[in-house]
Chain A
Amino acid sequence: EVQLVESGGGLVQPGRSLRLSCTTSGFRFGDYSMSWVRQAPGKGLEWVAFIEPYGGTTEYAASVKGRFTISRDDSKSIAYLQMNSLKMEDTGLYYCSRGRQLLPWGQGTLVTVSS
């Protein structure tokens, strides 16, 4: 069974950093691209970042470009989202998902940016 488990969320002050992890199992991680999608409280879905397999291309939403970095460790089957210079508007539930077409999704990890 394919499983994605996010971790690393928490309460952080504006301007600080946080690193999210997406630990996967049940499939050949190295063969798949990975995505991060977020959802602000009570709002819709916003795609955040994408990374191809084999250390390939990355893509970012304009709202996070230059502040967030997506990466992967194929030896551990983990995808990461390094979030720097956090803003209050980055608050939300962060999901990881497999592929560009987003199947399946993890349960999410909550990031709260507040002073």
Chain B
Amino acid sequence: DVVMTQSPLSLPVTLGQPASISCSSSQSLVHSDGNIYLNWFQQRPGQSPRRLITKISNRDSGVPDRFSGSGSGTDFTLKISRVEAEDVGVYYCMQGTHWPLTFGGGTKVEIK
């Protein structure tokens, strides 16, 4: 199975400041169709997960542009340019290339 490793586990951030979450995969995520299916999800307290970004860097509809994804190979990053109060929650990376689909352990973003 592909192991997805996220860091840090917890990320205290000051409002208005940037935040960055790392995710690494234990093997290449290149699909046979040439795409890299690396997704990022946000789970606010008490809510269902919501996909933010797909295929490394493609923001989903309605996702604020302060969220951005980047990366290549086996290392990926989710950045929040200026953290807002509504960004509090747990963020997960997930690979959708290989079976079984696997998630990172999550990064809890909280306000300092």
Contact = CB atoms under 8 A, between A and B. Distances in A.
A104 B61 CA distance: 11
Contacts of B101: 35, 47, 50, 100
Contacts of A108: 48
Given A102-B39, A102-B41, A102-B96, A45 B103 contact: yes
Of B39, B41, B51, B101, most A-chain CB atoms within 10 Å: B101
Contacts, number: 55
A105 B50 contact: yes
B76 interface: no
A95 interface: yes
A31 interface: no
Nearest to A46: B103
Given A59-B99, A62-B100, A44 B105 contact: yes
A45 B51 contact: no
Nearest to B61: A103
Contact of A101 (B48, B50, B51): B51
Contact of A44 (B39, B92, B96, B99): B92
B41 A107 contact: no
Interface in B13-72: 37, 39, 41, 43, 48-51, 54, 60
A104 B52 CA distance: 10
Contacts of A47: 94, 100-103
B101 to A, nearest CB: 4
Interface string A34-59: 01010000001111001000000001
Contacts of B92: 44-45
B48 A45 contact: no
B31 to A, nearest CB: 10
B97 to A, nearest CB: 9
Contacts of B49: 37, 45, 95, 102, 105
A44 B37 CA distance: 20
Interface of B: 37, 39, 41, 43, 48-51, 54, 60, 90, 92, 94, 96, 99-106
